[in-house]
Amino acid sequence: MSLQDRLNEVASASTAKKSKLCKVGLFFEPDSKLPKEDQDVLFAAIETPTGTPGRISTVGIVYALRTEGYEISNASMDRHRAKKCSCFLVTARKASK
């Protein structure tokens, strides 16, 4: 298979995804396996500003999610918390149009 064929395959798979959200953003989708109550707790933990007493670290949040059986990486959580993931890039692109 040529590089062009492989890139076309990857592009097709990417556009076939149902969501443009990152792995963290998918936790907040209506069909997420994460219960609504846990979504609320996770959202609050993610959105707690840096420097706030009691703020849970990225490593702590990822550890808790993994312990509960969810697959997520520290890098995905870091990007989402920094608002540099696809969740926010899609929103930024829409707003600029």
The answer to whether residue 81 sits within a structural domain is yes
Domain membership flag for residue 34 = yes
Residue 69 is assigned to a structural domain of this protein: yes
44 within some domain: yes
pLDDT digits (tens, 9 = 90+) for 29-86: 999 999 999 999 999 999 999 999 999 999 999 999 999 999 999 999 999 999 999 9
84: closest CA among 24, 14, 16? 24
Report the predicted TM-score, pTM, of the whole model to 2 decimal places. Answer: 0.73
pLDDT tier at 90, thresholds 50, 70, 90: low
Q: Give the domain extent around 81.
A: 19-96
H or E element: which one contains 70?
Answer: none
| Residue 58, in any domain of the structure | yes
**How far apart are alpha carbons 42 and 28 in whole angstroms?**
9
Residue 23 lies in a domain: yes
Q: Supply the pLDDT for residue 14.
A: 54
Residue 2 lies in a domain: no
Q: What is the pLDDT of residue 93?
A: 52
When pLDDT is cut at 50, 70 and 90, the band that residue 4 belongs to is confident
State how far the alpha carbon of 37 is from the alpha carbons of 1, 28, 34, 81, in Å: 47, 11, 8, 20
Cα(97)–Cα(92) distance, integer angstroms: 9
Number of domains in the chain: 1
Answer yes or no: is 7 within a domain: no
CA–CA distance from 3 to each of 7, 10, 14, 93 (Å)? 6, 10, 16, 29
